[in-house]
DNA sequence: GCCAACGTTGGC
DNA sequence: GCCAACGTTGGC
């Protein structure tokens, strides 16, 4: 567990055709279901803390980019879809006693006036080392440095 | 639609 | 434990 009380920053990806920032705005809060990657799971389980701020990223979109801000709204708990036989995220190896997939709730914070396109993010010298802009990076839940977060916010105005 | 890069699976 | 094959992600 992360014992340090300072705020951390994150980025989560979603395809807007499946779940966009507008969906989150309408729902106000949602369980971030369906993450089936261990590294992303570990980030949600071990590192994210209630109140941390999250860049909400639209992938496979026109354009792809950061669409707004969300917030960590719960402690980690078992992703209910792993137990649901009718869900595309069902995992036969998971049990209630030993869940495999852990998630957090995310709540809506704000939508950017304009999507901050990946192209713009890649151009900015301060964002060269973001996990997002690394070649081949596919992580759907990833850490963002405070400086990177602040740079993104400034660019979004 | 293409395809590079990545993570996972499973044979050995 | 290695690594080829496969499925997925996600930019373009």
pLDDT at A1 over 80: no
Q: Whose C1' is closest to the CA of A119: which nucleotide? A: C11
For A4-15, what is each residue's pLDDT tens digit? 568 999 999 999
**CA A38, C1' C3: Å apart?**
21
Does residue A137 lie within 7 Å of nucleic acid chain B, judged by its CB?
yes
Does residue A136 lie within 7 Å of nucleic acid chain B, judged by its CB?
yes
Phi and psi (nearest 5°) for A41? -60, -45
* Protein residue at shortest CA distance from C1' of B5: A136
What pLDDT score was predicted for residue A29?
97
A38 CB contacts (<8 Å, ≥6 apart)?
none
Does residue A125 lie within 7 Å of nucleic acid chain B, judged by its CB?
no
**CA A157, C1' B7: Å apart?**
36
Q: Whose C1' is closest to the CA of A41: which nucleotide? A: B7
Nucleotides of C strand lying within 7 Å of any protein CB atom = 8-12
For A9-52, what is each residue's pLDDT tens digit? 999 999 999 999 999 999 999 999 999 999 999 999 999 999 99
Contact A69, A53 (CB under 8 A): yes
The 3-state secondary structure of chain A, one letter per residue: CCCCCCCCEEEEEECCCCCCHHHHHHHCEEECCCCCCHHHHHHHHHHCCCCCEEEEEECCCCCCEEEEEEEECCCCEECHHHHCCCCCCCCCCCCCCCCCCEECEEEEEEEEEEEEEHHHHHHCHHHCCCCCCCCCCCCCEEEECHHHHHHHHHHHC
Q: Whose C1' is closest to the CA of A142: which nucleotide? A: C9
For A100-152, what is each residue's pLDDT tens digit? 999 999 999 999 999 999 999 999 999 999 999 998 889 999 999 999 999 99
Segment A57-86 shows an average pLDDT of 95
**CA A13, C1' C10: Å apart?**
10
For A105-118, what is each residue's pLDDT tens digit? 999 999 999 999 99
Residue, of A95 and A108, whose pLDDT is higher: A108
The mean pLDDT of chain A is: 94
């Amino acid at each position: 567990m992360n014992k340090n009380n300072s705020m951390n920053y994150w980025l989560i990806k979603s395809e807007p055709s499946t779940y966009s920032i507008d969906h989150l705005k309408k729902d106000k809060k949602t369980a971030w279901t369906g993450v089936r990657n261990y590294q992303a799971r570990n980030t949600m389980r071990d590192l994210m803390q209630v109140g941390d701020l999250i860049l909400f990223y639209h992938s496979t979109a026109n354009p792809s980019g950061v669409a707004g801000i969300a917030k960590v709204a719960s402690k980690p708990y078992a992703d209910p879809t792993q137990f649901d036989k009718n869900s595309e995220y069902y995992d036969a190896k998971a049990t209630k006693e030993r869940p495999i997939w852990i998630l957090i709730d995310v709540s809506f914070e704000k939508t950017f006036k304009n999507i901050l396109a990946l192209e713009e993010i890649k151009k900015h010298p301060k964002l060269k080392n973001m996990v997002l802009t690394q070649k081949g990076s596919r992580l759907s839940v990833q850490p963002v440095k405070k400086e990177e977060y602040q740079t993104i916010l400034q660019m979004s105005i």
